[in-house]
Structure 1
């Protein structure tokens, strides 16, 4: 079978047995049917991941489903890099095993970077969700116009690109070298990759409606604000030119707009507000 339109779903797994089955099912439901899956178990404890992936592979014999297990724990960047090294598709689509895709996720993102498009990376907003009994919620992390209109400068303000919302040409990530395995940048390794892609001249295209769901965990690494602040300081040091130029440009835009009497969104920009409550319901998350 030709791999011209094949997408390799990249799933790094560590203690994801409780969630990975739902993520796999969301891949199987894709309207773009030419997909394969590479799961890398980063030497996690046995939690059912192996069985779930093997049963899924048996149930979908027409699609390649490969499970790789690291001999020792190496971190999410190394797990994604191992999966990408085993990929055979023309496109790569990231999906963390606790996240899910809407059935049309691949179809819509591929329209942005497929044949005839000048874009290399497709992404979009996500729906952040939790679904424990009695504590479930849905919140759309939408993309306001200013983030898209002023990209890539807006990326210097904060990382609004979720891996599970992102599909890109395999050739571009091979060119920049994959995810960093620097231990000082883990948990923001995706942000660091987006910056390198921008610096390499790669073009991003954005959906305006969400096609993926991002599961929020109360104890996630991103909830440790002091730690995240230190990580961002290291990232800014590594790519100081990008962040200095982007921040300066965005401040000029913000203050120019406020002087023109358009204070609303730009005043909120200065406070880094980028999400809203009261988002519509998304049946594909239920």
Structure 2
């Protein structure tokens, strides 16, 4: 195995018995010749570990596979970091146990990454499969399959990432050295992509590869579906922490303006889902960056009155 081109895929599975074999098979079928797999069952209770062990025994073939089993569910970012510490490959992928890689994803990504000097990671387009079975692409494409938006010139990607979720995180292939150098994921957060993309984009170039590399599933068990869970969002407190980090990293007024757009977006959902404690943190950061305007004033009034309209929010979302 040529270590200079090797990719380590870290696959973390939690109650993914329905999908895990297809996910693992997609790693084995990558046309990139130099690869290895670390697969972690993170305390699953649905037979995921048994499915993993059966696949390794019967299907892994010559693919180098290390299986790790956690007796109970551990924080995702901490689980990933523990695996990352063992990685010696130049490239590393964070693969969820319910997503699928298309055969050329690793080879296409690394080809592009090698052309962009000092890039922290490369990302690509993806197919999104929703609960109803409908498939769409993450980025808009025309009838000919061409991207509607010009992705060759990403501009100030840091500002873009502050304002909106611009990158489909399952498509990312990281430069291992840079990811380790920056401390990996923040182990205090409940989810990783918002934070790590911003921290790396602040300091390094980011590359885009124009291929459809991943099938990402959206289903009731996925972490993102609970992003604005009524009363008890697991993700919103981490979002507040990341917004605080952004405030500290920002150096220009345009960056604080972008943060204001993000705060208004997250604050809206925090209030509608009656997550008032994270809403308080978002309002505090808004005050610190001088956020103003009618919408922000209305949100502050809503927070002050603690109006619980989450029943309506759930009805509209459902």
Which residue of structure 2 aligns with residue 138 of structure 1?
135
Give the whole-Å Cα distance in 2 for the aligned partners of 1:250 and 1:176: 22
**Cα-to-partner distance string for 1:168-202 (whole Å, 9 max, x where unaligned):** 111011101111121xx313x22111112123x22
Shift of 1:250: 9.7
Shift of 1:72: 3.5
Distance 1:83 1:250, change over 3 A: closer
Q: Secondary structure at the match of 1:32?
A: coil
Which residue of structure 2 aligns with residue 232 of structure 1?
239
Distance 1:174 1:127, change over 3 A: same
Shift of 1:40: 1.5
Shift of 1:58: 4.8
Question: 2:201 aligned to 194, 198, 203, which one?
Answer: 198
Q: Do residues 126 (structure 1) and 150 (structure 2) align?
A: no
Where in structure 1 do 4 or more consecutive aligned residues deviate above 6 Å?
none
Given that 2:128 and 2:216 are in contact with CA atoms closer than 8 Å, whether structure 1 keeps it comes out as yes
Q: Unpaired segments of 5 or more residues in structure 1? A: 252-286
Given that 1:39 and 1:67 are in contact with CA atoms closer than 8 Å, whether structure 2 keeps it comes out as yes
Q: Secondary structure at the match of 1:239?
A: helix
Q: Do residues 180 (structure 1) and 186 (structure 2) align?
A: yes
**Cα-to-partner distance string for 1:22-76 (whole Å, 9 max, x where unaligned):** 1111111211121100012222225143443453355334221001122442121
* Alignment coverage as a number of residue pairs: 244
Which residue of structure 2 aligns with residue 213 of structure 1?
215
Distance 1:208 1:149, change over 3 A: farther
Give the whole-Å Cα distance in 1 for the aligned partners of 2:66 and 2:121: 24
Shift of 1:206: 0.7
Distance 1:65 1:41, change over 3 A: same
Give the whole-Å Cα distance in 2 for the aligned partners of 1:247 and 1:223: 28
Given that 1:30 and 1:103 are in contact with CA atoms closer than 8 Å, whether structure 2 keeps it comes out as yes
Give the whole-Å Cα distance in 1 for the aligned partners of 2:256 and 2:212: 26
Q: Do residues 246 (structure 1) and 248 (structure 2) align?
A: no
Which residue of structure 1 aligns with residue 306 of structure 2?
none
Higher relative contact order (CA 8 A, sep 6+): 1
Shift of 1:115: 6.9
Backbone CA RMSD of aligned residues: 2.6
Given that 1:20 and 1:98 are in contact with CA atoms closer than 8 Å, whether structure 2 keeps it comes out as yes
Distance 1:250 1:208, change over 3 A: farther
Q: Unpaired segments of 5 or more residues in structure 2? A: 141-148, 261-318
Which residue of structure 2 aligns with residue 260 of structure 1?
none
Give the whole-Å Cα distance in 1 for the aligned partners of 2:242 and 2:106: 30
Give the whole-Å Cα distance in 1 for the aligned partners of 2:168 and 2:216: 8
Which residue of structure 1 aligns with residue 101 of structure 2?
101
Q: Do residues 170 (structure 1) and 176 (structure 2) align?
A: yes
Q: Secondary structure at the match of 1:55?
A: helix
Give the whole-Å Cα distance in 2 for the aligned partners of 1:119 and 1:77: 22
Give the whole-Å Cα distance in 1 for the aligned partners of 2:50 and 2:204: 36
Larger mean CA deviation between 76-85 and 55-64 belongs to 55-64
